[in-house]
Amino acid sequence: MVAAFIDASVLVSVLNKEYPLFIYSSRVLSLAEQNGFKLFTSSLCLAIGFYFASKKCGEVEAKRKIQLLCNHLSIAQIDENAIKSALNNPQVNDIENGFQYYSAVETGCNCLITENLSDYYFSEMPVFSSEEFLKVHVFKS
């Protein structure tokens, strides 16, 4: 079973149909319906996604899109342990990414998917772009 944490950058690319990323990120999110994959995100990623989607399509439509995502993704908690781990790691400069990462770790994710690979330079788990994730875990090339 692949348990993958989906970062806000992937959600935003789907919510706003940002090409060419949309081609890969939408395919990654479709894996939530397939056996062998469990996809997680966090409330913080959803909030970031909502913010950027609302700028493009308005708050009502953005909320509808977030509700659709929530029907297919599991929500990882950003709890006290994740926050403290991010704050205590001297390698973590962008605290938001630290919160996401440690939320993924505590949830048991074995990889993280983002379109901003350099944001997770401190990661001890594999970090993929949507395209790379598909090549490694779906197309096996």
Q: Write down the pLDDT at residue 3.
A: 97
Q: Write down the pLDDT at residue 141.
A: 56
Percentage of the chain beyond pLDDT 70 is 99
Q: Write down the pLDDT at residue 42.
A: 97
Band the pLDDT of 100: cuts 50, 70, 90.
very high
Distance, first Cα to last Cα, the chain = 18
Count of structural domains, the chain: 1
Question: Mean pLDDT score of the chain, rounded to an integer?
Answer: 96
Strands of the chain, DSSP E: 2-6, 37-42, 74-76, 111-113, 127-128
Q: Which domain holds residue 121?
A: 2-137
Q: Does residue 33 or residue 60 have the better pLDDT?
A: 60
Prediction pTM value: 0.95
| Window from 17-21, 97-101, 111-115, 136-140 with minimum mean pLDDT | 136-140
Distance of CA 61 to CAs 54, 64, 108, 118, Å? Answer: 7, 5, 32, 31
Residue 34 sits in a domain whose CATH number is: 3.40.50.1010
The mean pLDDT value for 13-24 works out to 96
Q: Is the pLDDT of residue 118 over 70?
A: yes
Q: Write down the pLDDT at residue 140.
A: 79
Q: Write down the pLDDT at residue 33.
A: 87
